[in-house]
Chains A and B, each alone.
Chain A
């Protein structure tokens, strides 16, 4: 009986193998005379509700435009869509293996999953992967390409200053202005607090506190002690380095309840969903969000193009941060593939990308590999939430990085 059970399971797996066996062996590296096979890994669903699924539409929109224009050196992009890692490192690893070994893709675009677990496998197999390099698993690799560089540089490598400098420009100078950086109690968030504190200090702000007392797993049921600590230092700017709208909504509501009058800024609130609910839009009123791409409200022609591309594949789609990340990751991949020339192999692709690749675009600033395998590209914009709508406060601009203190 047990044997039957085991056999049934294995037979089912074997069946699946036969179905896809043809494609896997026929195009081992994902490139044929007429096509390049691409797939992605996203956190489409997760226990916390965090989802980057829009990146799939973004990448698809960009690939469709390339295909409409005749493809890359005559090869159409065959985009098989994105796997869901459910924010589970093991699932991300399994998804990467499935795409490479079973589906036989050439590269992984977009990879946009905060807890992505397939990095070691992809690096070992020499498979390029493009996306948002928020975690250290991206950095220092030869195959992981963050669309705006590596956002988790090691000590000594370059760390961004754009957020502080853009903010200083917006507020008319940083002299004498006090900044409080709020993180949650996890290594990742504490690390973010360090780089962002440095960014504001580099811009001339006075750092009055970096606090990591917020629980990481779920928002604190009571914000009072956290808010009191912030209010005691009378900051002019509060930077929130905590992931998730729920956390930020709680923090901002608490601060406003306590009478805070200064500036609130974070990296995640450039999200149309926040404005859907009037009560919530009110809680975020005045918040300055810091996206790492040119805002959709911009008049830049690249953004106009992005709108058109998205409209062509999915009419009526709400433009979101994740969509933009998928779009720009695909854009950079296409640029490298184009430069790699007619005889496309992974080796060729990687040697071009890691040679002296450099690319500027108003959409995301600039990118240069291999330098940006180790540090961020140093570009960002500011968007203000005002009257229930987003307004561009500062357009995309790039600044020099400074070495990250240990």
Chain B
């Protein structure tokens, strides 16, 4: 027993290292990296080639591979892909990293193949890689258990990695910045922390850990990309038990998982009857962990979970013109079907079967906005049920219906957790279920008939049977057409609009009485029915089905193919299906290495990082641009004003462009000689939040050593003004000047470093960091703060989240005393504080003003702010309605400002 535990800890060490990397990158960047295992594999491959191919000593090879190569891969991926993916929406993130899982190992193996003449070692079944330690491993008898040198090295490195990671995160400025980003990403930017370079660092570290785990696991699992994917799932379990947030917990969970796996293997003989159950323990734990620990997790900062649909670029085209390409394609397809040989028509039919299955992605992901990785399992479920029912003597048509119903039932079962989970947690749960189906459910001999599977007859349609590929093509086209109509009706019906509402704003939909649960449920059921129908046809066109025909991993690849084409329209599914069937055929016809296909596929993930809505939408956009360019050229020179229907500016979701100096020409107003130029200035600022224009031309200036109070009722646009000043919200018009320099296009962290400090509404502290660490995000040495505010000194090691509201506000502002910014913007600094504390806070403001800081105080309640203000600005409905000195403000003016009486 103790032996199992000790030796399980060694195994767990690999899960722990891999899982920590996964948690680190997810928490710091919001991207869940399915390719984490693939990066481990790639590093292991480099290690192997360095020592076996190039003859380096193994420890140097390991050092170069894990310590240098892996972080560089992380950096490269950050630059090429992850940076774009962070803002690209969940579907694109998942698909992008799944694409990498497929492409990276293929790329590695392909390069090795190409470089064989340079002396690299070929990768084949004979490869028996070695660890860093002696080979064969030396044995150490520890009394209870015998461990070999590889195991001890693995454990040693894991402990070293854990200690190193801990020291790095706790005791270096980089670690502090990363933790600040994990804690409150938005605030980190306001404190001058560059989120982009922090993300880059997080990816490098994460890949370093993946690489370390990859090299350590190599002697155990061998050079097998698939085995590394299995390792990834185990480490994902550890990460989920760390709530995808806490590295120490992930590490502990990884170790625990190793122990549990060992105990089940050692004592779980009673589970033997159910094939696959014991190997599925990590997956079962993954599913439970998701259900129990991650139920109501909020969205992770820095990621957009909502995928806003792209604008309809073809809205200006007449209906016949919109449908023309598809009608032409259909005619071409039918022509092809009745003129070409059975072989090629068979490939097209296969593509259409896939297209039918892909249509289910359009329903669940395209319309429902949920990512389901279990779609292949639904298809397999239907195919197996159909085969089982038919061989049990039921009529074929009944068997087909049963198959579809079985898939629908499983879909509803999956939807149950989906009702409570959202976003990535749902995705991971469907992943766990897909793996469970593969490893346990489909292994039940009575259901899948062992490895033999079931044979299925052809469908006789009167005019012909489905053994003929021509008949299959026509049948599938009809079915896809029906699904297309269904989807169209779904989108236009009342329930369809409810679904879209739930998707784009779940909270709002719930409050307006739409049941998110019911619509999700409906979508899942419908999508699984479609996938089930596709699965049955897949089996029928093959004539047989086995448990391994539609593996879970196929579902991941399918999702990627569909999303690459565009998951919001049936057209994307059809093109995706045809490409999935025709592309491999073309590659083999041209004699291209199969690796190349996989690599291209992964490159698609990078495209997705830039164009999250897929190839079809991108093509439509390009055509649209060409069209508008042509019309704009003939009518007016001003492109945006000239077009009547302009989805680029009218559509939601298109990033608002920052307007540079050209608009105002930089010559709006020269500072007149007698008045000193303002230190900080907003000029004609127009800005929107969540697609609604909030600021409608705000002009505001603050001079050095001056306190300006910005007053206004709730909803006047005060907080948006603050966000614009700090760089958190992008402008549509106008500019922001600091000391005469145009900082409009600067990122928040750059503005912060230049001296614009925003104390945001609520509290500007990192709740998970200690008081001292909070101060260190702005100050190299926090000692002077403790001298000035002894209260904080006594609580220096307490997490800021545990402080009282007043203490938190002091902590927010205290660093500014020691290292005064040029401009301090305080958004509702007195909100929710006791009068005594408010007094203290305003004392700080006075002190700062005396140090020459330009202060902009934003308050809803006027009293305290007016007490120290030099000048006052009133704001109403996104405009400054009045500005003047403090002395000109009286009760009447105040009432007018708040009540809107002029």
Binding site for B on A (CB under 8 A): 1-3, 5-7, 9-10, 12-14, 16-17, 21, 24-25, 45, 47-51, 84, 86, 89-91, 93-94, 97-98, 101-102, 115, 117, 119-121, 124, 135-137, 152, 185-188, 190-191, 211-213, 215-222, 224-226, 228-229, 245-246, 249-250, 253, 257-258, 273-274, 276-277, 279-280, 282-283
Contact = CB atoms under 8 A, between A and B. Distances in A.
Nearest to B221: A218
B346 A219 contact: no
Given A10-B332, A13-B585, A137 B452 contact: yes
B410 interface: no
24 contacts: A2-B571, A3-B332, A10-B332, A13-B347, A13-B585, A16-B585, A49-B127, A91-B584, A94-B350, A98-B343, A102-B344, A121-B542, A121-B543, A135-B451, A136-B452, A185-B278, A187-B275, A224-B145, A228-B266, A245-B125, A245-B128, A246-B224, A273-B124, A274-B126
A115 B125 CA distance: 17
B832 interface: no
Q: Majority SS of interface residues in chain B? A: helix
B184 interface: no
Contacts of B269: 211, 213, 229
B582 A185 contact: no
B549 interface: yes
A124 to B, nearest CB: 6
B227 A218 contact: yes
Contacts of A250: 220
Contact of A3 (B145, B325, B453): B325
A102 B146 contact: no
Contacts of B168: none
Given A187-B451, A250-B220, A16 B136 contact: no
B14 interface: yes
B226 interface: yes
B11 A221 contact: yes
Given A101-B343, A217-B279, A228-B266, A273 B586 contact: no
B619 interface: yes
Contacts of B636: none
Interface string B412-446: 00000000000000000000000000010001010
A84 B623 contact: no
Nearest to B328: A3
B341 to A, nearest CB: 6
Contacts of A220: 11, 261, 265
B325 A84 contact: no
Nearest to B226: A47
Interface in B427-484: 439, 443, 445, 448, 450-453, 455, 467
A279 B150 CA distance: 14
Given A17-B340, A190-B275, A279-B136, 4 more contacts: A102-B343, A185-B276, A218-B231, A225-B263
A222 B261 contact: yes
B491 interface: no
* Most A C-beta atoms less than 10 A away, residue of B130, B135, B222, B622: B222
* Most B C-beta atoms less than 10 A away, residue of A221, A228, A280: A221
Query: Which A-B residue pairs are the 6 nearest by beta carbons?
Result: A273-B126, A225-B266, A101-B343, A120-B543, A218-B227, A215-B279
B586 A13 contact: yes
Interface in B324-364: 324-326, 328-329, 332-333, 336, 340-344, 346-347, 350
B262 interface: yes
A98 B342 CA distance: 10
* Most A C-beta atoms less than 10 A away, residue of B125, B346, B450: B125
B128 A97 contact: no
Contacts of B222: 49, 219, 246
Contact of A229 (B127, B224, B266, B585): B266
A225 B262 contact: yes
A47 B11 contact: no
Contacts of B894: none
Nearest to A139: B452
Contacts of B467: 124
B227 A185 contact: no
B268 A213 contact: yes
Contacts of B128: 245-246, 249, 277, 279-280
* Most B C-beta atoms less than 10 A away, residue of A13, A213, A253, A282: A13
Interface in B525-566: 542-544, 546-549
* Most B C-beta atoms less than 10 A away, residue of A121, A213, A216, A253: A213
B791 interface: no
A91 B146 CA distance: 45
A185 B467 CA distance: 36
B224 A89 contact: no
Contacts of A152: 451-452
Contact of A9 (B450, B549, B579): B579
B495 to A, nearest CB: 29
A186 B443 contact: yes
A131 to B, nearest CB: 17
B450 A225 contact: no
Nearest to B148: A257
A24 B340 CA distance: 12
Interface stretch (B1-9, B26-34, B298-306, B684-692): B1-9
B535 to A, nearest CB: 13
A10 B4 CA distance: 59
Contact of B124 (A51, A115, A277): A51
B673 to A, nearest CB: 60
A257 B8 contact: no
* Most A C-beta atoms less than 10 A away, residue of B258, B328, B451: B451
Contacts of B507: none
A9 B576 CA distance: 12
Contacts of A98: 343
B494 interface: no
Contact of A217 (B139, B226, B619): B226
